[in-house]
Copies of this chain bind each other. A is one copy, B any other.
């Protein structure tokens, strides 16, 4: 009996290790590539030959890279704020108010979430140019909100539903109005959900490529993902700089996870807090 248990545990560990390897290897490959010089990289050894920060230095030295980074950050932060705010308000409305067509609404939100964003890009391009939002960071920000908002609404909606109504009712009986209750009681209780939505919106905007490609043509408004692909389409492929750019792109994600992971893990489980 004990042997079987041990075996099944061992197999599980093995599977987990394999999954880890599967995910970690590309990241390792990228990190390794970014720390090598261009000729070394082509030799494709598992371990780096020598470590050099050449690629990073050159990357950061480029004015266009800094511009891309700044544009990306602006769009990502702005769309995260707008998307999270709207998701919280809409999710709260869906969870708290009764109105006809709520079921249809839920279907609609999910459909929006699943709707192929690529298919959406064409009409959006069409519309945005006709209302003069094409080629602007504001227009790009708005598209990113369009992409992240449905899932955000759905998540906040689900999340607000897990908060027992007794908290809200008790706040009311203690004299708090609806807005105060929302701000001081319900929002803090939904904090983990809010953070999950913000992370989702940020990640989506930070790495979004297709819309940025379609909407933005001027060099001054390009974002990092677009900039990165330019390393490829030049005359020769600058591998180590591409890798370095990839690493740079991953830094905000890494920082966010490190700071917020306690809320993220708590995310879906501690919604139904009991007093």
Residues of A within 8 A of B (CB): 8-9, 12-13, 15-16, 19-20, 22-27, 29-30, 33, 44, 86, 89-90, 93-94, 97, 99, 105-108, 110-120, 122-124, 126-127, 130, 146, 149-150, 153, 158-159, 161-162, 178, 199, 203, 206-207, 209-210, 225, 228-229, 232, 239, 242-243, 245-247, 249-250, 253-254, 256-258, 261, 264-265, 267-269, 272
Contact = CB atoms under 8 A, between A and B. Distances in A.
B12 A97 contact: yes
Contacts of A90: 15-16, 19
Copies in the complex: 2
Contacts of A116: 203, 206-207, 225, 246, 249-250, 253
B268 A162 contact: yes
B119 A207 contact: yes
* Best-surrounded residue of A8, A116, A117 (most CB of chain B within 10 A): A116
A246 B122 contact: yes
Contacts of A239: 122, 126
Nearest to A130: B44
Nearest to A110: B257
B29 A118 contact: no
Given A119-B249, A158-B267, A228-B118, A107 B261 contact: yes
State the majority secondary structure of interface residues on A.
helix
Contacts of A86: 19
A160 to B, nearest CB: 11
Given A119-B228, A250-B119, A257 B29 contact: no
Top 8 nearest A-B pairs by Cβ distance? A119-B246, A116-B207, A114-B253, A158-B268, A29-B123, A116-B249, A30-B123, A26-B123
Contacts of A268: 158-159, 162, 268
A261 B79 CA distance: 28
A229 B116 CA distance: 13
